[in-house]
């Protein structure tokens, strides 16, 4: 091989990799600058913390979704998982359980709901879209059955539970801190540990991964469990923030999470993706929601703008391929 051509190719490869990695980041900066020019209130610390707190719920769900999408799957049930585990958690607290125990139980339930998805997909050989479409309906139905269609209130004023959604630590909203912790842990799991490597391998080429000795079934079940766990954590934050568990909470949240993942440059066909990109993707969506409200754009146009941003992001990603 011609070494000169090789090094040029290498440079090219590196540059497109840089664009792919940093593209969403620059897009976020441009967006933030734009909104700031239109309404300087945007960049004030108060609003930034407000924005981060708003992002935390979608962010957490999207982190779990990133794992799922990297395996080449999809999890449509996250919104319903959020509602069901939130409702069960709230119900337990309202029923007199210790809030700490109820919170942990709700997280375990979320992970189990995810594990059901994973088992259907890995062991039952169902397409992820179909399996999670079905559980999306089932979990939503169970939420309505459990709550009887009414919001669950009377969660009381347990400092612990209130703190999850409404707390501040050193001036930073606690949901934001939870998001940061989840990001840190999941980042390491995805990018530094064998589990993450296997996740990428399954998404890159499931047959090859299997033949290389990876127990793809178990990895998949674990990945969907992570997605369920993140959804239930988001559900607890939401329940705490709203001081009630809503039976219809989280409807269509799966779409925002998928959008964040895709904006972050993770490929829907699996095998490629980064958690940092998803964080940026969630921030972009959050900035759009918050910023367009601040600028005073009509909510009808907001939806149009969000869709266009997603299309642009995906087209740019294609181009870099």
Residues 99-158 that bind other proteins (CB under 8 A): 144, 147-151, 153
Determine which residue in the list 10, 15, 123, 319 makes contact with other proteins, applying CB under 8 A: 10
Q: What angle do CA 248, 241, 58 make, to 5 degrees?
A: 65
Specify the residue for token string 């990297």.
70
Judged by beta carbon, residue 145 or residue 312, the one nearer other proteins is 145
Q: Smallest distance from the beta carbon of 165 to other proteins, in angstroms?
A: 8
What b/e readout covers 271-298, taking b as 16+ CB neighbours within 10 angstroms? bbbbbbbbbbbbbbbbbbbbbbebeeee
**Which residues on adjacent β-strands are paired with residue 176?**
none
Judged by beta carbon, residue 116 or residue 216, the one nearer other proteins is 216
Judged by beta carbon, residue 64 or residue 79, the one nearer other proteins is 79
Non-local CB neighbours of 42 within 8 Å, separated by 6+ positions? 32, 35, 36, 290, 291, 294
Determine which residue in the list 18, 168, 312, 319 makes contact with other proteins, applying CB under 8 A: 168
Non-local CB neighbours of 32 within 8 Å, separated by 6+ positions? 42, 43, 287, 291
Determine which residue in the list 4, 96, 125, 171 makes contact with other proteins, applying CB under 8 A: 171
Q: Smallest distance from the beta carbon of 215 to other proteins, in angstroms?
A: 6
**Distance separating alpha carbons of residues 321 and 302, to the nearest angstrom:** 29
Helix (H) or strand (E) holding 216: helix 216-242
- Interacting positions 201-220 with other proteins (CB under 8 A): 201, 204-205, 207-215
Determine which residue in the list 18, 33, 193, 305 makes contact with other proteins, applying CB under 8 A: 193
- Interacting positions 56-75 with other proteins (CB under 8 A): 57
- Interacting positions 247-276 with other proteins (CB under 8 A): 247-252, 271-272, 276
Q: Smallest distance from the beta carbon of 241 to other proteins, in angstroms?
A: 6
Q: What tokens were used for 250? A: 């989280």
Site size toward other proteins (CB under 8 A) is 86
Listed ranges 67-75, 96-104, 108-116, 192-200: which one lies at the site for other proteins (CB under 8 A): 192-200
81 makes contact with other proteins (CB under 8 A): no
192 makes contact with other proteins (CB under 8 A): yes
Non-local CB neighbours of 217 within 8 Å, separated by 6+ positions? 122, 123
**Distance separating alpha carbons of residues 161 and 92, to the nearest angstrom:** 12
Listed ranges 66-74, 92-100, 169-177, 225-233: which one lies at the site for other proteins (CB under 8 A): 169-177
Helix (H) or strand (E) holding 108: helix 99-122
**Distance separating alpha carbons of residues 155 and 85, to the nearest angstrom:** 14
Listed ranges 1-9, 98-106, 111-119, 222-230: which one lies at the site for other proteins (CB under 8 A): 1-9
Q: What tokens were used for 263? A: 């904006």
- Interacting positions 13-52 with other proteins (CB under 8 A): 13, 39, 41-42, 44-47, 49-50
């Amino acid at each position: 091989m011609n070494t000169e051509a090789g090094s040029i190719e290498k440079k090219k490869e590196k540059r497109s990799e840089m664009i792919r990695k940093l593209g969403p980041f620059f897009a976020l900066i441009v967006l933030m600058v734009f909104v700031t020019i239109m309404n300087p209130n945007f960049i004030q610390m108060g609003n930034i913390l407000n924005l981060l707190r708003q992002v935390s719920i979608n962010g957490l769900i999207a982190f779990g979704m990133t794992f799922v999408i990297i395996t080449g799957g999809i999890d449509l049930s996250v919104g319903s998982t959020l509602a069901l585990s939130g409702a069960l958690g709230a119900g337990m607290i309202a029923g007199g359980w210790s809030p700490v125990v109820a919170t942990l139980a709700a997280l375990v339930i979320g992970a189990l709901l995810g594990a059901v998805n994973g088992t259907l997909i890995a062991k039952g050989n169902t397409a992820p879209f179909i399996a999670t479409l079905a559980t999306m309906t089932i979990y939503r139905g169970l939420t309505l059955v459990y709550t009887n269609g009414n919001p669950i209130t009377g969660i009381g004023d347990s400092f612990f539970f209130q703190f999850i959604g409404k707390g501040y630590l050193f001036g930073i909203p606690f949901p934001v801190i939870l998001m940061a912790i989840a990001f840190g842990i999941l980042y390491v799991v995805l990018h530094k540990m064998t589990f993450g490597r296997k996740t990428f391998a399954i998404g890159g080429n499931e047959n090859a991964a299997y033949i290389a000795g990876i127990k793809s079934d178990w990895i998949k079940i674990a990945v969907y469990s992570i997605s369920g766990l993140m959804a239930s954590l988001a559900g607890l934050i939401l329940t705490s923030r709203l001081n009630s568990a809503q039976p219809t909470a989280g409807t269509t949240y799966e779409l925002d999470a998928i959008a964040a993942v895709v904006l972050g440059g993770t490929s829907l066909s699996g095998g490629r993706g980064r958690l940092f990109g998803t964080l940026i993707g969630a921030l972009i969506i959050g900035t759009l929601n918050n910023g367009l409200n601040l600028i005073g754009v009509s909510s009808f146009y907001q939806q149009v703008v969000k869709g266009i941003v997603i299309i642009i992001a995906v087209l740019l990603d294609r181009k870099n391929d």
